[in-house]
Amino acid sequence: MSVTAFTVENIPLIKAGDDLARILNGKTELKEHDIVVISSTIVSKSEGRIVSLDNVNVTEKAKTIAKRNDNDPRFVQAVLDESEEILLESPFLLVRTRNGSICVNAGIDHSNVEGEKNILLLPDDPDKSARQIKESIFKYTSKKVSVVITDTNGRAFRIGQTGAAIGIAGIKASRDWRGTKDLFGRVLEVKNEAVVDEIAGFANILMGEGNGGTPIVIIRGMGMYHESYGIRELFRPEKEDVIRRALKSLSA
């Protein structure tokens, strides 16, 4: 098997209201069933998800957590405002966002955002964003593509961050190997491969984390197009999640 992956060059600084599909269409020629991987940073910018720390109303709870974690209370408040559940308060805030994903600081970023006091929230509903971009790409190009929106995430147990998929469209989140056979005829029981995270991880290498200005990566030749979307199937249900329960019992 052979695939091609490349960054799309000359993407401008993205502003609220920008049409990412139109910008992309002007910079590269897409092919049927390409996987278009887009950093959440530019999706958030296009959706106007920038907040000034000056406009955050800090609560006592945010002040307490900020003191404990040596953080800016306004930043902590912005994280709390995006969160439905706190899994860990200290030494860092690990939360479940309104959208259901669990991440440090609700995925709020300082980096690659213009303005000292500005922070960037994740897209409000990344699956919806991915679906809209997919449909918009079809409108401009008549090509059916998969869209994977990524963010750089840390992980438990291992040092170092990798790309993770936070919203998808036109692709299945996972590939189920259960019921198929291994090299020696044994039936596989537990291999459910989170392919969209693998795609996000690879694309993230090409995007980089700094001033590369390469927030969109095209992956061609994977043959993974599927008329479906939804990252939620990768969210482990709370009752099956021993780590989540253990973390919460620490804070209790």
Q: Which residues bind ligand GDP (CB under 6 A)?
A: 11, 13-14, 39-42, 45, 109, 111-112, 151-152, 207-215
User: Could you give phi then psi for residue 143, rounded to 5 degrees?
Assistant: -110, 135
**Cβ burial, residue 182 (10 Å; 0-12/13-18/19+):** exposed
| Interaction pattern, residues 97-116, with Mn ion; x per rule: CB under 5 A | ------------x-------
Closest separation between CB of residue 161 and ligand GDP, Å? 9
Planar angle of CA 241, 243, 246, nearest 5 degrees = 110
Closest separation between CB of residue 109 and Mn ion, Å? 4
229, 169 contact by CB (below 8 A): yes
- For 103, the token pair is 């991440």
Helix and strand element counts for the chain (H, E): 7, 13
Which CB atom, from 10 or from 228, has the smaller least distance to ligand GDP?
10
Which residues make beta-bridge pairs with 228?
none
Q: Among residue numbers 79 through 98, which ones bind Mn ion (CB under 5 A)? A: none
- Picked from Mn ion, ligand GDP, none, the partner binding residue 213 (CB below 5 to 8 A depending on kind) is ligand GDP
- Picked from ligand GDP, Mn ion, none, the partner binding residue 212 (CB below 5 to 8 A depending on kind) is ligand GDP
Q: Which residue is nearest to Mn ion (CB)?
A: 152
Verify binding: residue 34, Mn ion, rule CB under 5 A.
Answer: no
3-state helix, strand, coil in the chain (%, to 5): 35, 25, 40
Which CB atom, from 77 or from 204, has the smaller least distance to Mn ion?
204
Closest separation between CB of residue 240 and ligand GDP, Å? 28
What type of residue is 19? D
Q: How far is CA 112 from CA 14, 161, 209, 246, in A?
A: 11, 17, 9, 34
Verify binding: residue 176, Mn ion, rule CB under 5 A.
Answer: no
Closest separation between CB of residue 151 and Mn ion, Å? 4
Closest separation between CB of residue 101 and Mn ion, Å? 12
Residues at the contact surface with Mn ion, assessed by CB under 5 A? 109, 151-152, 209
